Structure 1
Amino acid sequence: MNRYPHQQGIKVHYSPLEAAIRWSNLLEQEINILVATAQMADVCADTLPLWPVVGLNLERLYDAMRNGDLPYGNAGITTKDPALLDAPGLTIRHVDLKQWMAKTYPDQKPGFLFDELERQLHPVINLDTVQALLLQIKTLETQLSNRAQHRQPRPVDCSPNLPPRAETTYLNIVGGLLTLLLGQSPSGVRYSSFNTLASVISALIAHHNGRPGITERTLRAKFAEAKRQLSAPS
């Protein structure tokens, strides 16, 4: 993760042109673009022949704002006043832009909106999903353990498990996500930047350390179970 956000041009809010420049990965040319468009009454794809990608992304942003898909406002204050779409103070908040981008263009993750780990993930994979599944498994195991202790007043040697159907479901999902994280498409394109199971575990611990089940030992055990379950005959 970049320790110096200003180097990526990260701001609390952006003008549509600033957002389009960053989306197009042309931050180093921002001054030239802003100078070239300073006297233009209408900045659009047709008026940006030297930077066609910026023009395209700018039109995408305006289209989203006009259709109510992307919140906008004035000087960082969100409003729904359509008159602002032609005002010089039109802005888009960083958090709104990131949420819209993740939903509308999940395959595009510009560095000013998404950190390194978020950019590594394939669009269909979310580490929070894996963490949530493991947390549910841990919670169910704890509940079953408490019930067993309540029924048995004397200490007993038991290893409470999930109901077979629930355990199979969770392990299949976790195993499937692992297959995507570490696999590749039929054409040979990797689904993510994770090359090993160890790198997946390290990322989970880095992002969710301290959460129930998020330890190297537990993750290795659960992932091994998930891989065995997915390879077993259905």
Structure 2
Amino acid sequence: MISIRSSYHLIDAAILWCDLSDHEEEILQVDLSQPGSLRKHFPQWPRLHDHVECIYDAILNGELPATYLGKPITSDSHIHRVYYSVRRTDLLVWFVRSHPDQKPAFLFTQNADHSECVSLHAHLAKQAKLEFALSRLEQLQQTYAAATEEIASLSTLNDKLKARLESLGIPPETSEVMHNMLIGAMLETTLGKNQNGQQQSIYSSQAALVQAILLRFPRVEGLSKSTIDRRFADARRLIAQIKRG
């Protein structure tokens, strides 16, 4: 009969493994802290001692996880093995891996059809892939968090540099003032005269230049006549202010 318990002490699991549930009360009256007590008191059931030792060795070798009051037991733990507990699921997996010929009734349904069940190997392979994917996801999340923090730091630094440039009277390259300065310098160079008083451009005036732009870029958003005239006027006004000092 399958047990519905979620965990077992070593002696409990061994009793069930040996199918000695009818003698459980008698067995548990023995002082199990004494080495060899099971073999001494119950020589008629040698497998009981052997099964307890088998489970204990599996725990020591790291094949079977064990706990005490919900905390994992390690090689450094100083807890008597009488108090060790093993989870039902861990015990079942251990049997499948280490004792595939053993199918104790307290863990396995006898004569059950497992033809459509997923094999343990396939389950463990899927579990390994899932654990790897979760680990990779955690790494990516950490990388994303670090990148986000770095971007925020760079943005803060950029704002400080902009403020510093403005305090020194140097406009940032992306500022409206810089755009107007560039446009104004271009207009002065394009429409102005050289040192000999000669016209430097094929365009006789700003109006002619605007007309040429409209003909070359018809119906382009942001290049309407009113927009160009306004931006050119702002740019030339800025250049004039710079010249005056």
Same fold? TM cut 0.5: no
- If the length of structure 1 is used for normalisation, what is the TM-score? 0.44
Larger radius of gyration: 2
